[in-house]
Each structure stands twice: as structure tokens, then as C-alpha cells.
Chain A
Amino acid sequence: MMLSRVAENVYWMARYLERVEDTARLVVATHHAMLDMAPVNDVQPMNWEQLLAITGSREEFFKRNSRADEQQITNFLIRDDEYPGSILKALHFARENMRTTRELFPREGWEFLNRLFLETRSAGSRDFHAANRLEFLELVINECLRMTGLLDSTMVRDETFSMFRLGRYLERADMVTRILDVRGALMLTRHEDVDRPLRNALWLTVLRSLSGDQMYRRRVRPRIRGVDVLAFLLKDRAFPRAFRYGVSGVAHCLEFIGGAHAAQGIIARIEEQLYLADITRLADNTGLHDFLDGLQILLGELHATISRTYFNQEVEKPSPTDLGSSPVGMSSRGRTSTATLNRCSRPPVTTPFTGGTSA
């Protein structure tokens, strides 16, 4: 039977680990795209600054940096020690969360994460240039995959494992909406200025940042087409980095752990939104932003509800006859509306590594 405190740590460990991988993917994909693309009609369709928008860290970035150029932005995203979303910092949080829960994981899991943290910290102690940066990020992505593989191939399918996967799926779903929102909106608003091949190339970047280009071609069609890419990344049931896949992953985990009726209700609302979405219209940039904004708000609610259900229940004495009852707490510390206020702010990254969102 999983402790609430421990469950929260496992959940955050998973989210931070996923964040590490996703952020690395994002920088790698941008890197490749920048090499491919020259400005067209004086329009530079890609720029590094978009990464700040995607990660919702613009304000944080300019606190310590003056120029939003490649060097400063990538350094910020890779190793800024005060930005909780940077790769090294997120890895640090993942490690700290695992340190307090290491007894739940196979010991190789902790050893692996610990080593990854120490190695990346020492590699990240100096500035990166374009070539070694790529090498470093690819290493991080590979190691994250190995970590996932290790846990996947050694852990008992129990609540701990489900809690871990729950965190990963939720973080991943969140990342998809962010990437689509910023990249998509950018491409589509500049509709007239950007010619078709370039637009397609941009969609390709979106796919690549999610390692989805090959899978898209195999599953959907060889040609890159905006409406298809959007449908694939939002609604595909089989691609593990698609939004819907992440959300149904969350649903499965919740079902396994049990007692999460409220959270399942929110997932039903998300499914409804996907069902009702007119992808052709959205791909044509009619209401895409508002649509994704709606999804992010729902993800925020989902997190808050999961948190109320499992982590911050009000203590209810079980009745003597029913020691196994699962009280669903009523305490609310909603952060559901964060997404509305600042749609690009990360989910609660300020979460202390030791205790989730405890006040």
C-alpha cells in the first residue's frame, strides 16, 4: 500500500525525468531545424526564442540573461541552476525525489539515475558549443530511454510502477500541447509569408522533436501534411508520444491504482474535446491556440485532482469495520487556472523535490 508522500515523490520523479528527456529533444530538434532553414522573404520561421515560449520560461530567462541568442538560450535550458526546468536542474529534482523513494525501485534504477546525474553535472559544468551540445543532449536522451527501459523491464506492475507511468504520461501529454501550440501557431499565423515546402519542413521539425517523423510516415502517409500531422500528434491511439496516447496512459494508470473517479471524469472531458475537434479547421489556424489552451487547462485540473485524490487527502479515520476504505479528501489547493493566466507557464515546476506541492 503506497504512502501518499512517497506516491507524490514518485509522481514528480517521473515528471522531472520526462521533462529532462523532452527538453533535450526540443533543443535537438530546434538545432537540426535551424541548420536546415534559411530566412525566406526576410522571414526567419524558426528561432531559438520559441524554446522560451514553449517551456514558458521567458521571464525567468531574462532575469539572468541579456541576449536571447542560441548560446544563452541553450545554456539556460541545459544547465541553468536556478531554472527548475533546465535539464540539469530537472535531473537534480528527479534524483532527489528518487533518493527519498529509492527503496521502492530496483537498486539499479537509483544507481543509474545517480550516475546519470553525476555525469551530466560534470559534463555540464562548462559551456557548450554547437557540436558538443548535440552529443551531450543525445546522450541525455539515450540515458533517459535506458532508465525507462530498465524500470520497465525490472519493476513489478504495482502501484509504484503505475504512479511512475502516470507522471510520465501526464508530462508527455503536456509537452505535446506546448510544442503544437507555439510551433503550430507560429507557422500558421505567418500563413501567407511562408511557402508550402517550408511549412512542411516546420511540421517535420514538430514531428522530429517528438521522434515522430518515421512513425508518422509509416502510419499515416509518406508526405508531410499539416492536417495529418496535427491529427497524428493529437489523436493517434498508437503513437506513444501522441497527446491522446499520453492521456489514455494516464487513464489506465488511474484505473489500476483505483479510487480516481474525479480524475477519470476530467479525462472523459479531454476525450470529448478531442472527439469534437475539427482538425481541418484547427490546422488552418482557426482556433488552434484556444483549443490547445483548453487542453492545457484540463491537464492542469487533472493534476490538481490527482493530487487531491492521492497526495493531499484530508485524514479521515477509517471506520473500525472498514480499514480498507479510501477516503477522498476535500482539501483543495487548486492551481487549475494557472494555464489560463499564463498559458505557457510550466506545470508546477516550483514543486520542492522533497514533498511535492506541500505548502
Chain B
Amino acid sequence: MLAIANSTPLPNGFYRPQGVHDELGMGSDQRHNGNSLLLSYLDQLGQKELSRRQGVAEMAIVNFGITFTIYSEGENIDRAWPFDIIPRCIAETEWRRLESGLIQRTQALNAFINDLYNGQKILKDGRFPGEVVLNSRNWRPELCGVLPKFGVWAHICGSDLLRDKDGVMYVLEDNLRVPSGVSYMLENRLLTKRILPELFRNQSILPVDDYPSQLYDMLASLSPRSGDKARVVVLTPGIFNSAYFEHAYLAQQMGVDLVEARDLVVDETDTVYMKTIHGLKRVDVIYRRVDDDFLDPEAFRADSMLGVPGLIRAWKRGRVGLANAPGTGVADDKVVYSYMPEIIRYYLDEDPIIPNVPTWRCHIPEERRHVLANLDQLVVKPANESGGYGMLMGPHATPGEREEFIGLIQANPRNYIGQKTLTPSTVPTLVDGRIEPRHVDLRPFILSGKQTWVTAGGLTRVALRRGSFVVNSSQGGGSKDTWVIANRDRG
């Protein structure tokens, strides 16, 4: 049942990973992950007890109401969050390196966005092709000249990391718009503590529960008013949004109000208020979980009924803090992603610590030719979509699907990139009472204010279907608790 080295004889129920990097003990060199404890523990527990505990976890999830919402057949359905009880382990040594890589990346991204809206030095220096961003649908020219506090635009970033066959972690993408999943990271830890309490006694697992406080402090630091206690709110599109659980959860954890657009109003002095039982009260900082398009009908989409008229006006005048800043999405783009190594070198004068996945950009003729010629080996992604939609998984696609993408790429080359197909690492996962390898990714969350801060680990998403690489919860993915296991010398 457990993964073991190829040289060892295979005990009953253990799986032997093939052609992938299995994070739990594929070779003896992996044992330093702190996994050996987990391995022997799982073995001791036995499959029956493991299945029982999985059942307990699933009950807890239903009872706690940990859900995500999917829209299906004209109806919103509240689904229980799929969770696997076997934690995914990362050694602290490796984690510290990833952490600094993420901090480096986020700082460079923020410098880049701030530059785009203020001076466009990188374009003038010819280090980044202007047409790529200036034609992007996420580019907001009306925001040019705005200087948010600390020069930070992407206050909350969720970067997706993937470990390939070679054991190296790559950054797959940076989610800068309204990245979600952090509440599940927190809930997963609570669940694991209930389900596998024994394992927390014998090793030091870095805690994750500091996130709400860190988030609150960062948000409060964006307040335009000094001295006063800042009034921070979380802005949600409403209960039918797929991440509503998380919006409510974060508001609750931070002890702030969860508001909808209809609760807010902006007056002629460009001050934002919320409607309370005692009349209007000033709002200082909004953690908005609403897309740019639906933030303010005055600014972005006059046809939209959603949003708070005047909000962008208030933000531009520095009367309210918005996280993430409007217009941040311009950097949440696969083509921008492909330039990240250059962007890091340009702003920080450092080499990237975490590598990008090799990427070919279809707006550059020779790279496009490479993509078209190697469609059966590459993954093709649209530049601006998230959630795994609109992709072509070359190796698994039918000839018809490849034909379709050839047409799409040629019609709009700017909108596509090709990427090397990675084989995400596997970790042991409980499937129908048996331990089997399943592919995972990792989404750490990075907070940027005056300083930059990274969660210890992040959300591990797991593709629960055999052989599948798709980790999105809307498409058969689940999640696991992620353990960064402290080095022994820390005690």
C-alpha cells in the first residue's frame, strides 16, 4: 500500500511508483522529508482504521458545512469539500528555499504592475513587449498614475507549484485576481489534527493558523486613515459564488464584516460607507473577492448591475484601500508569466529561485511554430483563463481537438501559450480504502503589504481520479493537509 524504493521487495498493498516522482519515499534520498514517520504510522494504522478515519473526516466536513458551490443544470449545489486524510509532507529546508522564491516572485510582480501603471520603464527599456499587456483585456489604462500604498497591487497572491519527474518544483502560474483556497488550507489542518492527532506529537509541523491575523494586519495597514482602528470588510459577490464559504470564513476568522455590494455606498466626497442598523459607517479597507469587471459599474462595466458605483473613484483618490488593487489582473496572464525570469532580473537584479515551466509564446512566430509542431506533447493554455478551462492537454487530446486548437491559436496567437507537459508528483492517497498514488500540486498564499509573508506550505490539491492531472475541485479534485516538517535541529 505504501510507496517504497524500487530495490526493496514489495510488501502487501504497497504501490510502486512508475515514471513519476512520488513524494513519499520513492528512493531513500527522499526520506529526509520527514516522511518515514508518516510511512510507518500509516502502515501501523492499517487500511481498515485508515478508512474509518477517512469516514470520520468526511462526516466532519458535512457537519461543519465546509463546502464549495458548483453551478449545474441551472441550480447552485452546495458540495462537501473533498478531502484526503493522508497529509502531504515537505521538508523545511526545501520549503525555506521555495518561500524565498515566492517572496522574490511576488515582489517582482508588484514592481512590474506598479511600473506598468506608473511610467512603464520596463517597456521603454525594451525588456518587455508592451503590446502584450497594453492589448490585454485586463489592462486598465484609466488607472495609470495611481500609486497604492507601499507600491503594492497584488496583496494576496496564490501561486501554483508543481513538482515534475525530476523532483524539481516549478511555478505553474501566479493567481493575482481573487485567488481562493486558503480557507480550505486552514480547515484541512483542523481536520488532520482531529483525525491523526498522534502524528503531531512526534514531530514539529509548522503551524498555518496565523493566516487570518497576518491577512488582517496587512489589510489594516492599507487604511487611508491613520490612528483610528481601521474598518476592514470582505466584499463577496454573494452566497451563490463558488467561494462564498471562504469569504464568510475569512471574515469570521478576522472578525470583520462580510459585505455585499448593496451594503456599500460612496458619497460625493468619495468616501465609502456601509449601511448599518445605525446608519452609514465609513469603510477603510475592502478585501474584495469580486472580479474587477463587477466592482464598480461607473468605472468598468456600465451594463453591470453589480458593484458599488463610485468605488474606483474613491480608491483612486486614496479614500479607501482595495485588495487586490483594481487592474492587478493585467499580470495574471500566461504570457506575462513566461517573462517572469526576465521580470525578476529586471526589477530585483536576482536570478529566479523557483524555475518557470518551459513555455512557448504563440505571439512570437518561431515559438508559435514550435507549439504547432509539437501539439501532441505540449499543454496549450489560453492566456487569461483560470480554473483549468479552455486548455488542450496535448498528449491526451484527440486529433480533432488538436485541429481545433490549431485554428484557435492561428486566429488569436496572443491569447495562447504552449507549455512543456509536466508529470506532477504523486503522493499516497486513500482511494476506496486503498492507498494509491495520486497527482498533486501546491498553492501557497503570499501576502504583500509593507513586508511580504508566505503561508507555511499552502493548499495541496489532489487529482482524485486515477491518472488524472486535474486538481480543480469543480472537476474531480480534492485536497490534503500540507505539512512543512521542521528541521530536527530546531527541536
Residues of A within 8 A of B (CB): 1-7, 96, 99-100, 102-104, 107, 110-111, 114-115, 118, 159, 163, 257-259, 309-311, 313, 315-318, 320, 323-327, 354
Contacts and interface: CB of A to CB of B under 8 A. Distances in A.
A115 B63 contact: yes
Interface string B55-88: 0000000111100000000000000000000000
B274 interface: yes
A4 B259 CA distance: 10
A236 B273 CA distance: 44
A115 B239 CA distance: 19
B53 interface: no
A111 B276 contact: no
A96 B78 CA distance: 12
15 contacts: A2-B276, A2-B278, A3-B259, A3-B263, A5-B260, A5-B275, A6-B258, A104-B252, A114-B63, A114-B65, A115-B63, A118-B62, A159-B277, A323-B280, A324-B281
Interface in B276-318: 276-282
Nearest to A325: B279
Nearest to B59: A115
A102 B62 contact: no
A104 B239 CA distance: 15
B202 interface: no
A325 B65 CA distance: 38
Interface of B: 62-65, 239, 248-249, 251-252, 257-260, 262-263, 265, 267, 269, 273-282
Nearest to B253: A103
Contact of B278 (A104, A110, A115, A258): A258
Contacts of A317: 267, 280
Given A103-B248, A114-B64, A315 B278 contact: no
A313 B278 CA distance: 9
A270 to B, nearest CB: 22
Q: Is the interface of B mostly helix, strand, loop or mixed?
A: mixed
Contacts of A1: 257, 274, 276-278, 281
Nearest to B265: A315
B257 A3 contact: yes
A263 B158 CA distance: 49
Contacts of B252: 102-104, 107
Contacts of A110: 65
A260 to B, nearest CB: 9
A266 B64 CA distance: 40
A255 to B, nearest CB: 14
Nearest to A104: B252
Contact of A103 (B258, B260, B265, B278): B258
Contacts of A96: 239
A257 B62 CA distance: 35
Nearest to B267: A317
Given A102-B248, A114-B65, A6 B280 contact: no
Contacts of A99: 65, 239, 248
Contacts of A159: 277
A327 B257 contact: no
| 6 A-B pairs with the lowest CB-CB distances in the bound complex, closest first | A103-B252, A114-B65, A326-B278, A103-B251, A310-B277, A326-B279
A315 B279 CA distance: 8
B263 A5 contact: yes
Contacts of B265: 315
Given A102-B252, A111-B64, A317-B267, A259 B278 contact: yes
Contacts of B269: 320
Contacts of A4: 263, 275-277
A5 B262 contact: yes
A316 B257 CA distance: 21
A198 to B, nearest CB: 46
Given A103-B248, A111-B63, A320-B269, 9 more contacts: A5-B262, A5-B275, A99-B239, A115-B63, A310-B277, A311-B277, A315-B275, A326-B277, A326-B278
A327 B279 contact: yes
B239 A100 contact: yes
Contacts of A115: 63
A90 B249 CA distance: 24
